Homo-oligomer: A and B are copies of this chain.
Amino acid sequence: MRIAQIAPLTEAVPPKLYGGTERVIHWLTEELVGLGHDVTLFASGDSRTSAKLEAGWPRALRLDGAVRDANALHLAMLENVRGRAHEFDFLHFHLDYYPFSLFSRQSTPFLTTLHGRLDLPELHPVFNACTAAPVVSISNSQRRPLPQARWVRTIYHGLPENLITPKPVRPSYLAFLGRIAPEKAVDRAIHVARKCGIPLKIAAKVDRVDAEYYEQRIRPLIEPPHVEYIGEIGDHEKSEFLSGAHALMATIDWPEPFGLVMIEAMASGTPVIAFNRGSVPEVVDDGITGFIVEDELGAIGAVQRISELDRAAVRKQFERRFTARRMAQDYLGVYRALAESHAPRLRIVGADEAPALAASDAS
């Protein structure tokens, strides 16, 4: 298929720094190319890809301090995609609701993956108005605030199969990975590790907006060697870091639509102890890849049972459920289903005032 992937210009694909959405777009794009498809990636010009790159702006906007109006660039990119839509068999957007109005009224089938949380009240008007635009959720729980959207399927994120792998090290600590921010609640992981008498290693970044939170609430809790903060780590360091952990502590305090860090742990064979919020019960197979807990007391109990889990089985479940290849194949299934349901309609419907496509479920 001739497929266009349309990414935000905020970060490069893959991102130079943190950026879950752009990492997922990168992995999906590489897999689609690997599967033999003709892929064009609309993204910032500093992206690296095996697909054809169409630069919407020379640099990722988060690193380009000169750009004040990011919307102008995203709407220009949408206009350019619209002008070239006939060159593609399928358009896959990662730009929230931005493409809905424009692309519901043209003939190339399209899809939007919604990457963020959807519980803002101001999202209702645009989803009420654009019920024809097909959308994919990254977990079922993500959908709840917006039942009126045209959900066609949930597709869980996936990692390249060999990006993170089990290493032959003896687990000796609990791990926290990602960002230090109130919604990630690393303080809970610290409490649990202390109560269990097991060291906690924290590999995480601190965003500027969270610097005060870190200084006031978290830093006083860091006491090496029991609680150690090792800073941010890259993908190439994660296999080692995660393999050395008895468990990853996903002590989240928000309805996370999908937690990449959980499948990163699984890829290394490390079980996950996760609070029951957002996508957690969909991503963690309780008793196989980890334990789902309700509070710190539950987490302490889970740590004590962690040796019941088989790390080889954790890795195996990762390979079954959360590879980028599986993700790409799921998306191809949706592309094909939407293309089939889409194509015949536009031969019979006039164009300028064409009604929006009827909602249909491709899942």
Contacts and interface: CB of A to CB of B under 8 A. Distances in A.
A183 to B, nearest CB: 15
B122 A83 contact: no
A72 B125 contact: yes
Interface string A89-132: 00000001110111001110000000000001111011011100
Chain A residues touching B, majority SS: helix
Contacts of A101: 75, 78-79, 82, 102
Given A102-B101, A351-B354, A352-B354, A125 B69 contact: no
A353 interface: yes
Contacts of A66: 121
Copies held by the complex: 2
Contacts of A80: 129
A350 interface: yes
Contacts of A76: 125-126, 128-130
Contacts of A271: none
Q: Which of A67, A128, A353 has the most CB of B within 10 A?
A: A353
B72 A106 contact: no
Interface size class of A (residues with CB under 8 A): 35 or more
Q: Which of A69, A76, A82 has the most CB of B within 10 A?
A: A76
A214 interface: no
Given A83-B129, A129-B79, A72 B351 contact: no
Contact of A75 (B86, B97, B107): B97
A352 B351 contact: yes
A68 interface: yes
A56 interface: yes
B352 A125 contact: no
Interface in A305-363: 346, 350-354
Contact of A350 (B125, B126, B129, B351): B351
A287 to B, nearest CB: 38
A122 B351 contact: no
Interface string A282-323: 000000000000000000000000000000000000000000
A57 B122 contact: yes
B121 A100 contact: no
Contacts of A162: none
The 10 closest A-B pairs by CB, nearest first: A351-B351, A76-B125, A351-B352, A76-B126, A79-B129, A79-B101, A72-B126, A67-B122, A72-B122, A76-B129
30 contacts: A56-B125, A66-B121, A69-B120, A71-B98, A72-B123, A72-B125, A72-B126, A73-B122, A75-B100, A75-B126, A76-B125, A76-B126, A76-B129, A76-B130, A77-B125, A78-B101, A79-B100, A79-B130, A82-B101, A83-B129, A102-B102, A102-B105, A105-B105, A105-B352, A106-B353, A107-B352, A350-B351, A351-B351, A351-B352, A351-B353
